[in-house]
Structure 1
């Protein structure tokens, strides 16, 4: 299973294993990563699973689609590398992915 590292707002790293074809958000929830609230359960209907994708991984995680972009409007401190973790599918190519959880969720 691919490993994903979440850097929480205090700078602490939480490395978890995530199942192929799940989402980065699901990996966080199943492993109790702090700061990922996921209030809508992954339906892309809120912004409570907002993360910043490490610059080295932006090409592999891809661009947000229009619906995700609309939901990011509700997130705090949106940046060029902002994504909703519920919209990033886990693949073998994402083994080693690093994302940072913002100080506050939408």
Structure 2
């Protein structure tokens, strides 16, 4: 299991255990974390699961593929370095301790 901390825009923190093989988005959904809508169900066809990755984690994550880069263009206030779509982040034991913050609002 990997511990992932989801921080709502208002600062509310949710630290949960997520099984390896799931996505960070599925971890939020299955644990009732508000603020990650995932309207497309994880198909990388919207940007409602957009988060900002804690700066300490940016270089530890796999690179964004072109489809994720394209969808981030539709995210609310994307950050070129820290923005990621949680549906594209597969949980592994190496992600234990990952911290993500939700933007003020989703589209």
Structure 1 alignment gaps of length 5 or more:
none
SS at 1:59's partner residue? helix
Structure 2 alignment gaps of length 5 or more:
none
Corresponding residue for 1:82?
83
Corresponding residue for 2:48?
48
Q: State TM-score, norm by structure 1.
A: 0.97
What's the offset of the Cα at 1:63?
A: 2.1
Root-mean-square deviation (CA, aligned residues, Å) is 0.7
Aligned length: 106
- Mapping of 1:1-106 within 5 angstroms? 1-79=1-79, 80-106=81-107
| Aligned counterparts of 2:9 and 2:54: Cα–Cα separation in 1 | 14
| Aligned counterparts of 1:5 and 1:62: Cα–Cα separation in 2 | 18
| Aligned counterparts of 1:15 and 1:38: Cα–Cα separation in 2 | 19
Q: Which runs of 4+ in 1 moved over 6 A?
A: none
| Aligned counterparts of 1:15 and 1:7: Cα–Cα separation in 2 | 9
